[in-house]
Amino acid sequence: MKTKIAVFDSKEYDIASFENANADGRYEVKFYETKLTEDTVNLTAGYDAVCVFVNDTVNDKVIDRLVDNNVRLIALRCAGYNNVDIEYAYGRIHVVRVPAYSPYAVAEHAMALLLTSIRRIHKAYIRTRDFNFSLSGLTGFDLHGKTVGVVGTGKIGRVFIDICKGFGMNVIAYDKFPAKDSGINYVTLDEIWEKSDIISFHCPLTDETRHVVNAGSIDRMKKGVVIINTSRGALIDSEALLEGIKDRKIGAACLDVYEEESDVFFHDFSGHIIEDDTLARLISMPNVIVTSHQAFLTAEALSNIADTTFSNVEQFFAEGVCDNELCYKCAKVGSCPQEHKKLCF
Ligand code: NAD
């Protein structure tokens, strides 16, 4: 019997990479365009596993319905798992993820946003398409010699640090669990706020990091600071960010993620009236660049995501273990260290 997997929130690029990774037809895969929510969870009846992404809802009610439907595995096709109630899942249903697929994809996108923003490439692109070759208002600044504060020095944060070093930047970093012998110049979070010309976030969204950028922290930052968020939207209090931009305190914001992104990102709303006033106002600012959670979107990353998702499913159902299992006990210290050769429950 083939393992049956229901893939939610699937886009054409997901389908292409998953079909490629499943070219031999080992798995029976159903792609749903809809997100997994309390309203759509009934679609999981008859499946062994569900595959979800960053904006699917996997709360207690959804988990109960998955268990009722005899679904045995939640396979995240992403690294972050803030949308899954892993504490509630413990003892009920196993959760696995793709811990790394291309830290380069995300770190390079963060740098692309930064360069675009500070060299006004987004403005220049539109001007020259209209044969406007004026340079007025396009003055940028050198990255060389500037101080960048990196919050979160895991896989993506470290690649971003290396990229910044290549630009001759002075890198300082904060991590709740600093990497030993890494040569990284760790400082306190307060020093990040106070010393950085640019701050880039590469930590997970947790109770501790939710709204870590707020009116208070913005107050401590340098005037003209550039904020980059390719991690999770709710690290930033969007209202406070908007106020910081209107006060001219924040020089620029580069956002690949947004705290209320789930109803908007990944969809085409051109020609519609956006209900979210904060997002609309942010997008209207000349010094804000928004991409819709696309930092991961490279051919290499998509291929790795599909391969790792299938190998997670295979290991779980064939061997009764999974190296990439998530459980809330292990997650408290990062992600599951898997020192035990068994499932977490
Ligand atoms: P990782 O687990 O390798 O690194 C995360 C780092 O954050 C770790 O070093 C950890 O110690 C640190 N950390 C944990 N709690 C912290 C806290 N309270 N304050 C500061 N640091 C803390 O993860 P990664 O692969 O580098 O990914 C980082 C984040 O990037 C993910 O959590 C995810 O939210 C986001 N991400 C976004 C995209 C995208 O497309 N935009 C793609 C992949 C990942």
Average pLDDT, the chain: 95
* DSSP assignments along 136-183, one per residue: TT------TT-EEEEE--SHHHHHHHHHHHHTTPEEEEE-SSPPTTS-
If you ran DSSP here, which 8-state letter would residue 190 be given?
A: H
Helix (H/G/I), strand (E/B), else coil: 271? coil
Please give the distance, rounded to the nearest whole angstrom, from the Cα atom of residue 78 to the centre of ligand 1: 11
Supply the DSSP string of 195-223, one letter for each residue: H-SEEEE-S---TTTTT-BSHHHHHHSPT
DSSP tag of 9: S
| 273-311: b (≥16 Cβ within 10 Å) or e | eeeeeebeebeebebbbbbebebbbbeebbbbbbbbbbb
pLDDT in the model for residue 101: 93
256 touches ligand 1 (CB under 6 Å):
yes
Which among 144, 150, 160, 153 is positioned nearest to 108, based on CA atoms? Answer: 160
Quick check: CB of 153 below 6 Å from ligand 1?
yes
CA separation for the pair 73, 49 (Å, rounded): 5
pLDDT tens digit string along 6-58?
999 999 999 999 999 999 999 999 999 999 999 999 999 999 999 999 999 99
Establish whether residue 261 lines the binding site of ligand 1, counting it when its CB lies within 6 angstroms of any ligand atom.
no
Q: Sign of the CA dihedral 240, 276, 152, 289?
A: negative
Distance from the alpha carbon of residue 327 to the mean position of ligand 1, in angstroms:
16
Q: Please give the distance, rounded to the nearest whole angstrom, from the Cα atom of residue 202 to the centre of ligand 1.
A: 5
pLDDT at 344: 81
The answer, yes or no, to whether any atom of ligand 1 lies below 6 A from the CB of 344, is no
Per-residue pLDDT band for 263 (boundaries 50, 70, 90) equals confident
Rounded to two decimals, what is the model's pTM? 0.91
- Write the DSSP symbol of residue 226: E
pLDDT of residue 115: 98
For the chain, where are the E strands, in sequence order?
Answer: 4-7, 28-31, 49-52, 73-76, 94-96, 147-151, 170-174, 198-201, 225-229, 250-255, 288-290, 325-326
pLDDT of residue 3: 97
How confident is the model over 194-252, as pLDDT tens digits?
999 999 999 999 999 999 999 999 999 999 999 999 999 999 999 999 999 999 999 99
Residue having the nearest C-alpha atom to atom 2 of ligand 1:
154
Catalytic residue ranges: 232, 261, 293
Answer whether residue 335 shows pLDDT above 80. Answer: no
Atom in ligand 1 nearest the alpha carbon of residue 177: 11
Nearest to 11 by CA among 77, 108, 63: 77
Tens-digit pLDDT profile for residues 102-147: 999 999 999 999 999 999 999 999 999 999 999 999 999 999 999 9
Does the Cβ of 230 fall within 6 Å of ligand 1? yes
Packed helices 277-284 and 238-246: angle between N→C axes, nearest 10 degrees: 40
With a 6 A CB cut-off, is 202 part of the ligand 1 pocket?
Answer: yes
Phi, psi for 98 (deg, rounded to 5): -105, 95
Which of ligand 1's atoms lies nearest the C-alpha of 230? 41
**Beta-ladder partners of 322:** none
